[in-house]
Amino acid sequence: MKREISPQESSRTDAFRLWMSSPMPMVTLVKTLDVSRLVKASKKSDIKFTTLMCLCIGKAASQIEEFYILPENGKLFRYDKLAVNVIVENCKGGINSCDIPFTDDLQQFNRDYMELTTTAAKECKSSFLEDHMVIGTSAMIQTELDCIVNQYNDKFSNPMVMWGKYRKGLLKTTLPVSFQFHHVQMDGGHAARFLQLLQNEIKNTNSK
């Protein structure tokens, strides 16, 4: 469910006043994560690394109230559900967008992920969940990347998590992650907490 709320009735009153009309309200934080556990779980369970990464993103975001609030077209909206968006390369060489409804049930999330992305790739059609607060993702796994900065404009205010190819070391596997968010939705402290929760979820991942 999606409903409009008054900024004065939310925790984002001051942020709305300060940043809603800003021409560049997006902020990007970068953190290098230890994804060793995620890589092992992916190989053991035969579930894609990206699927597990998206699940951890949803789990971390669900623990922060600000993720359920989003500014759109000069207004503030409250959602009661989250989704994680993924970009899929389709059979024609183009790309499509898929909103995967978040659930902390690994098997259900994996089924939804595989079904929706497979359909998008075959039919070249995007799928959207308008009643969910959507966390965007972009995985450019063809090469290692230190940082990604997405477009900064008023067309897309959703939070976005981006990464490249993970890096295998002698003792651990690491992955630099860029997290972009709208300053009306959350402050830097919320974003930093999200990245730490994401690291915690990754370290607690198992293959069950």
Q: Where are the domains of the chain?
A: 2-8+21-203
- pLDDT tens digits along 87-143: 999 999 999 999 999 999 999 999 999 999 999 999 999 999 999 999 999 999 999
pLDDT at 169 over 70: yes
pLDDT at 75 over 60: yes
The hierarchical CATH code for the domain 2-8+21-203 is: 3.30.559.10
Q: What's the CA gap between 176 and 169, in Å, rounded?
A: 14
Phi–psi pair at 70, nearest 5 degrees: -150, 130
Q: What's the CA gap between 144 and 167, in Å, rounded?
A: 7
pLDDT at residue 149 in the model: 86
**Residue 152 pLDDT grade (very low, low, confident, very high; cuts 50, 70, 90):** low
Bin 12: left if φ > 0, else alpha if -120 < ψ < 50, else beta: alpha
**Residue 29 pLDDT grade (very low, low, confident, very high; cuts 50, 70, 90):** very high
Q: Three-state DSSP class for 180? A: strand
- pLDDT tens digits along 176-203: 999 999 999 999 999 999 999 999 999 9
pLDDT at residue 97 in the model: 95
**Residue 208 pLDDT grade (very low, low, confident, very high; cuts 50, 70, 90):** low
Q: What's the CA gap between 143 and 122, in Å, rounded?
A: 25
* DSSP string computed for 74-117: TEEEEES-EEEEEEEE-TTS-EEEEEEEP-S-HHHHHHHHHHHH
pLDDT at residue 153 in the model: 65
Tell me the pTM: 0.96
- Residues in a beta bridge with 102: none
